[in-house]
Amino acid sequence: MDRFEAMRLFVRIVERRSFTQAAADLDLPRSTATEAVQQLEARLGARLLQRTTRQVSPTLDGEAYYQRCLRLLEELEDAEGAFRQRAPSGLLRVDVQGALARRFVLPGLPDFLATYPDLKIQMTEGDRLVDLVRESVDCVLRLGDLTDSAMVARRVALLPEVTCAAPAYLARRGIPRAPYHLADHRMVGFLQSGTGHPHPLELTIDGKPRQVPVAADVIVNSAENTVAMGLLGLGLIQVPRYRVEDALADGSLVEVLADFPPTPTPVSLLYPRSRQLSPRVRVFIDWAAKRFAP
C-alpha cells in the first residue's frame, strides 16, 4: 500500500472510528487495514490511534496527522482533477428530509442517473442533523436555519409557509383576522429538537417577523403529523405551503392570517467543511439546486 493509500485509509478510520467499517468502505480486508496502520505508526515513530473495545479514536499526534492528511489528499484530488475529465463515479451517500425529497428531488432522479450512469446513490431519510463525517454521509438536504460551523451549507430554496386550519376547527373557534385574536385559539405544537418546547407561530407584523406563542393541546415532532392533526381540526398549523396545496385547494384546510405571513423556510444542502468536494457530490449538489430553482 503506497503512502497516499495509507493516508486515505487512516483518514477513513478516524472518520468512521472503526477499522472494520473503514476497511469495508475501501473494500479492503480488516487485517490489511490493521497492518497498514501499524506500518504507518512505525514509519512515523508515533502512536496515532487509541483502540478500545467500542471504538477507535485519534491520539493528539493522530489528530494532527489526520488534519495534515486531509490537506494533502485535497491537494492531490485537485491536481489530478485538473487533468482528468472522467465522468463522476462511485457511491454517493445522501441523507434527506423525506417529504422534501419526494416532492422536489426524486421525480428527477431517473434523469440524473441516466446522465451519470457510473454513479450509485444510497439515500437515507431523517430530520436530525447527522454527523456527516462519523456516519460517512456525503451531503444532507435539510429545512430550516442551520448554524453548524463544521459544515458548508448551500441554500437552494426558500419555501413559502402558510398558516391554516380545518373548517371544523374554525367553526368552533372563529377565524382569526389579526394576531391579537390568537389568544382565543389553539395550535398544533411542533416540538423543537434543540429546546424541547413547541415552536411558536411566526407572523410578519409591521414588516418584521414576530413569534407569537399560542396554546397547544397536542404536540408532535413530524411535519406529517402536524398536517394530519390540522386536518383533524385540532388546531392551527404552520407548514410549508407545498405540503398542503391539495388540502387548501379542496377546502380540507383554510388559510388564515394571510396578511401576516410566516417567513419562508430555507432549504439547504450541506457537506463537511473538512472534506474536499468530490466530483460526484459536486454534480449532485448542482443538479439538486436546479431542481429547486423554480
The predicted pLDDT at position 83 comes to 60
Alpha-carbon distance 280 to 138, whole Å? 9
Which CA distances in Å does 200 have to 58, 119, 224, 236? 42, 42, 18, 11
Per domain, the residue ranges of the chain are: 3-81, 90-139+274-292, 161-263
Residues 3-81, CATH architecture:
Orthogonal Bundle (1.10)
Q: What is the pLDDT of residues 157-195, one digit of tens each?
A: 899 999 999 999 999 999 999 999 999 999 999 987 666
CB-CB contact of 103 with 241 (8 Å): no
Whole-prediction pTM: 0.66
Phi/psi region, residue 162 (left: phi>0; alpha: psi -120 to 50; beta: rest), is beta
Asked if domains 3-81 and 90-139+274-292 share a fold, the reply is no
CB 106: neighbour CB atoms within 10 A? 14
DSSP calls for 111-135: HHHHHSTTEEEEEEE-SS---TTTT
Could you confirm whether domain 161-263 is CATH 3.40.190.10?
Answer: yes
First-to-last alpha carbon distance for the chain, in angstroms, is: 48
Identify the residue with better confidence: 148 or 293.
293
Question: 100-139 pLDDT, tens per residue?
Answer: 889 899 999 999 999 999 888 988 887 655 555 555 678 8
Tell me the CATH architecture of domain 90-139+274-292: 3-Layer(aba) Sandwich (3.40)
Summarised one tens digit per residue, pLDDT across range 7-64 is 989 998 998 889 998 998 888 999 999 999 999 999 999 999 998 877 899 999 998 8
DSSP string across 45-97: TS--EEE-SS-EEE-HHHHHHHHHHHHHHHHHHHHHHTT--PPP-EEEEEEE-
